[in-house]
């Protein structure tokens, strides 16, 4: 197996757009798998696809939240990587459309350099029509042409909405810090900083352009902002530890 497409989801209706894109990929269908970790609704919705596609689909029920958790995303990411059998992980968020050659493009980058993580450019759209998000409402601020279409970025600018990560890189850092589930977001920034310290570099390929459907914050903006501050404070401490050569490898995988 070459590629493991990894999706953590709590929105079963957001999986259809991903599946439609995977069905049309020009990458050999016997060389990629799709692993989904989600809540009960996601599990029941996606399990119907097990035997209907020419690529392997594995649906896993997420672990219960621990006391004080706001999200379950970092635990879900770890479970996705535990189940992945490919060489390259392609993180693909629900409610996200990508072109038919995106897996081929990520694989080519990996073949050229197995020590890089590559992200695409993603704008947000109002709604889905004809299986594709339409009416742009937010433009990715990372778009720039002074460095060309493919350039190295700071690890904290790496977005995992649609991005490739060598499986070996995640094994070397030992997974995502699950403590970030007590906050909102940011966990992917911390794991990227640890990978960077181990020699993995991060790039943006602006020829890979995806479309995401804009959706409201889970549990409301006020609570999300409060939890985001918790995550940022945690990241500040972890950055100091990483810069001191500490906590480079965790034990979640």
Half-sphere exposure of 99 (CA within 13 A, CB side): 12
Considering only 90-104, 163-177, 204-218, 233-247, which range has the smallest mean pLDDT?
A: 204-218
Q: What's the average model confidence in pLDDT over 229-249?
A: 95
Q: What's the average model confidence in pLDDT over 97-119?
A: 98
Q: What's the average model confidence in pLDDT over 226-238?
A: 96
CA 20 – CA 232 distance, rounded (Å): 35
Looking at every residue in the chain, the average pLDDT score rounds to: 95
In this model, does residue 220 exceed pLDDT 90? no
- What pLDDT was estimated at residue 51? 67
- CB under 8 Å to 49, separation ≥6 — which residues? 19, 57, 59
Percent of the chain at pLDDT > 90 equals 90
- What pLDDT was estimated at residue 118? 98
Of 104, 98, 94, 100, nearest to 59 (Cα)?
94
Q: What's the average model confidence in pLDDT over 229-253?
A: 96
The structure's pTM equals 0.96
Q: What's the average model confidence in pLDDT over 205-211?
A: 96
- What pLDDT was estimated at residue 76? 98
In this model, does residue 209 exceed pLDDT 70? yes
Q: What is the tens place of the pLDDT at every residue in 133-181?
A: 999 999 999 998 898 899 999 999 999 999 999 999 999 999 999 999 9
Considering only 65-79, 94-108, 135-149, 175-189, which range has the smallest mean pLDDT?
A: 135-149
Q: What's the average model confidence in pLDDT over 119-126?
A: 95
């Amino acid at each position: 197996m070459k590629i493991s497409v990894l999706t953590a989801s709590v929105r079963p209706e957001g999986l259809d757009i991903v599946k439609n894109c995977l069905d049309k990929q020009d990458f050999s269908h016997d060389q990629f798998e799709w692993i989904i970790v989600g809540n009960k609704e996601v599990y029941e919705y996606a399990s119907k696809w097990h035997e209907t596609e020419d690529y392997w689909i594995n649906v896993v029920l997420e672990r219960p939240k621990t006391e004080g958790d706001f999200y379950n995303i970092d635990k879900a990411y770890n479970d996705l990587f535990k189940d992945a059998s490919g060489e390259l992980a392609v993180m693909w968020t629900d409610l996200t459309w990508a072109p038919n050659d995106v897996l081929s493009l990520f694989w080519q980058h990996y073949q050229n350099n197995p020590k890089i993580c590559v992200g695409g450019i993603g704008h947000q759209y109002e709604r889905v029509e004809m299986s594709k998000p339409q009416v742009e409402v937010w433009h990715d601020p990372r778009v720039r042409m002074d460095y060309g279409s493919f350039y190295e970025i700071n690890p904290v600018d790496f977005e995992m909405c649609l991005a490739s990560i060598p499986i070996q890189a995640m094994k070397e850092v030992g997974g995502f810090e699950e403590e970030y589930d007590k906050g909102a977001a940011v966990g992917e920034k911390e794991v990227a900083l640890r990978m960077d310290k181990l020699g993995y570099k991060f790039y943006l390929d602006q020829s890979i352009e995806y479309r995401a459907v804009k959706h409201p914050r889970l549990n409301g903006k006020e609570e999300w902002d409060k939890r985001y501050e918790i995550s940022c404070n945690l990241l500040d401490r972890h950055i100091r530890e990483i810069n001191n050569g500490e906590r480079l490898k965790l034990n979640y995988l």
